[in-house]
A = this chain, B = another copy of it.
Amino acid sequence: MILKEISINFTSPVPVYEQIKRNIKHIIAKDILKTNDPLPSIRELSSFLKINPNTVARAYRELQQEKIIDGRPGKGFWASSKKPSGKEKIVMLEDEFNKFIEKAVDMGVSPESVKEMISKYFREEK
């Protein structure tokens, strides 16, 4: 089971349902959970974490909307076979990157300087 892979920091300002989402996303991205592999049921995970089932349900519902997992009453949830494609992910990232650029413009930084900063960032990456 993947229960041991999921850890929550209850003192963090990041809401629990959000931490659950991130955990599951990591687990699927790392291919620990492959297509159609079952997730712990809502009640199983909620009692393991000692939290309300609704909190897990919210995380699962949003992951389902993001096409990362799928599920049905009586059957549980499982890693989706239609996980977001590379192309879909890139579209989502472009959206995020746009917001980043807007922030830069808000700060009065020219696109050229942003470009240069990013080049440097990747160059210095190890």
What residues make up the interface of A, taking CB atoms closer than 8 Å to B?
22, 25-26, 28-30, 84, 86, 89-90, 92-94, 96-97, 100, 103-104, 106-109, 111, 113-115, 117-118, 121-122, 125
**In the complex, are the beta carbons of A115 and B122 less than 8 A apart?**
yes
Cβ contact of A94, chosen from B29, B90, B94, B121, cutoff 8 A: B121
**In the complex, are the beta carbons of B22 and A106 less than 8 A apart?**
yes
Nearest to A101 among chain B residues (CB) is: B121
Residues of chain B lying within 8 A (CB to CB) of residue A90: 109, 113, 117
Minimum C-beta distance from A2 to chain B (A) = 16
Q: Can you offer 13 A-B residue contacts whose CB atoms are under 8 A? A: A28-B108, A30-B108, A84-B107, A89-B107, A90-B109, A93-B109, A94-B117, A96-B104, A97-B118, A97-B121, A111-B122, A111-B125, A115-B122
Residues of chain B lying within 8 A (CB to CB) of residue A122: 111, 115
Residues of chain B lying within 8 A (CB to CB) of residue A106: 22, 25-26, 29
Minimum C-beta distance from A33 to chain B (A) = 12
Residues of chain B lying within 8 A (CB to CB) of residue A29: 106-108
